Amino acid sequence: MSYLDLSNIRKSFENETVLDGISLSVPEGGTLVLFGKSGAGKTVLLRTIAGAIDPDAGSVTIGGQDMTTVPPEHRGIGMAFQNFALFPHMSAFDNIASSLTSRRMSASEIKRKVQDVAELLKIDHVLTHTPKALSNGQKQRTALARALVSEPKVLLLDDPLRNVDAKLRFEMRLELPCLLADRGATVVYVTQDYKEAMALGERIAVLDQGNIVQIGSPEDIYKRPANTEIAQLFGDPTVNLLDVVPQEDERGLHAFLSDQRVDFHGDFPGVAGRDCIVGLRPEALSFTQNGGFPVTIEAVTPFNEKTVTLVTTLRGREILVSQPAQSTVPEGPEQNITISAQDAILFDRQTGKRLEPVTTGERVEEAA
């Protein structure tokens, strides 16, 4: 059953529409990741849930109660801000305790709760410091502790790892899902980093220009992105997008990349002969000794866990190939690569939207 419901939320600032009728629901204890580029409206949406911004239209329901006009202090939520928003004139302890002082709670109980959450987040040794004396990582943990300490039923996290260094972000990316799962809160998590989105989300909502363009599981969005833009946002190295005009014969819809035939499984009525784009994940490509098609290796970039190779086809198209680090790039510039065809994604070139195969076969259905 859903715990947090947004229905048709609209907001504009000075004639500029920031949220264009957003509806969402998150089940009790569930986690929803709001993903999108900056300016997509993620932060405004989060603030609308928090009550810091009043929507022009629509309603916010938390735990079955209409909260649209309830001031932020009575919504029973916790929130961590992207810029931490710590109170600069209070110690880390007082920052965290501020979430408890408005309740009827004894000083000793407050102290115990702050101590507990600080230990959990490994900041118990800096509780007497003011924010100025904290490292970025400690600030971020203090902000998180402040959001967590009152055990809110709804937890809003606004890109909390944005302003911390790469090492800490990596650690927290591993740590956060367990932490959030333990609290049992309903979580809305805003991020611009697709890895974070994939690591956390049971469900990811992709926001663009105030609209939700896709909601789905991480796997869903990775394998069946609603459009080329989402396909590019998810995945590193980015997806290869190649212009094709697919044809149909007795074996079904297919296209030729150089000489290799790529089959698209399922019925795509009306797609044959249309201008399309095929999306190939770099992981779906591999070097081969026999078959495939010839390419020239241009550049090899080794990372820790993978090796990314830039190759050009005979027609001069550039393609990225990603392999696990242990497999070696073959010697010599002239090589063949092969495509694992079931991973190819087909998009309409005009709209950029993904073409979904239909089994009933009436019309081309575009991805929702």
Sole binder of another protein in the list 42, 139, 146, 169 (CB under 8 A): 146
| Closer of 83 and 327 to another protein (Cβ) | 83
Rounded (10°) angle between helices 166-183 and 136-148:
10
Q: For residue 85, how far is the Cα from the chain centroid?
A: 23
Binding status of residue 359 toward another protein by CB under 8 A = no
Based on the shown chain and the rule CB under 8 A, indicate whether residue 29 belongs to the binding site for another protein: no
The smaller minimum CB distance to another protein, of residues 150 and 313, is found at 150
Residue 204's SS3 state is strand
Residues binding another protein: number (CB under 8 A): 31
- Compute the distance between CA of residue 7 and CA of residue 82 in angstroms, rounded to an integer: 25
**Any contact of residue 78 with another protein (CB under 8 A)?**
yes
Give the binding range for another protein (CB under 8 A) out of 17-25, 78-86, 277-285, 306-314. Answer: 78-86
Q: Binding of another protein at residue 110 (CB under 8 A)? A: no
SS3 218: helix
Regarding 250 and contact with another protein (CB under 8 A), the answer is: no
Q: Between 107-120 and 136-148, two packed helices, what is the crossing angle to 10 degrees?
A: 130
Say if CB 4 and CB 152 are below 8 A apart: no
Question: Of the listed pieces 87-95, 106-114, 231-239, 307-315, which binds another protein according to CB under 8 A?
Answer: 87-95
**String marking each residue 34-73 x if it binds another protein according to CB under 8 A:** -------------x--xxx----------xxx----xxxx
Tokens of 118: 């600080």
Q: Which two tokens stand for residue 261?
A: 């035939």
Supply the minimum distance, in Å, between the C-beta of residue 87 and another protein.
6
State the nearest-atom distance from the C-beta of 30 to another protein, in Å. 14
Q: Does residue 75 belong to the site contacting another protein (CB under 8 A)?
A: yes
Considering beta carbons, is residue 183 or 281 the nearer one to another protein?
Answer: 183
d(CA 32, CA 191): 11
| Residue with smaller CB distance to another protein, 75 or 353 | 75
The distance of closest approach from Cβ of residue 118 to another protein in the complex, given in angstroms and rounded to an integer, is 16
> Cα separation of 257 and 320, whole Å?
14
Say whether residue 85 binds another protein (CB under 8 A).
Answer: yes
Count Cβ atoms below 10 Å from residue 101 Cβ, excluding itself: 10
- Contacts of 73-78 with C-beta under 8 Å, sequence gap 24+, read 73/102, 75/50, 75/51, 75/154, 76/152, 76/153, 76/154, 77/49, 77/50, 77/152, 77/153, 77/154, 77/155, 77/156, 78/146, 78/147, 78/148, 78/149, 78/150, 78/152, 78/154, 78/155, 78/156, 78/185
One residue of 8, 23, 38, 83 binding another protein per CB under 8 A = 83
Q: How far is the CB of 90 from another protein (least distance, A)?
A: 9
Cα separation of 63 and 3, whole Å? 5
Check if the beta carbon of residue 276 is closer than 8 Å to that of residue 349.
yes
Q: Which of 102, 106, 108, 359 binds another protein (CB under 8 A)?
A: 102
88 three-class SS: coil
Judged by beta carbon, residue 15 or residue 102, the one nearer another protein is: 102
* Nearest distance, CB of residue 105 and another protein, angstroms: 11
Task: By CB under 8 A, tell whether 150 contacts another protein.
Answer: yes
81 part of the interface to another protein, by CB under 8 A: yes
Give the footprint of another protein on this chain (CB under 8 A).
Answer: 1, 47, 50-52, 63-65, 70-75, 77-79, 81, 83, 85-89, 98-99, 101-103, 146, 150
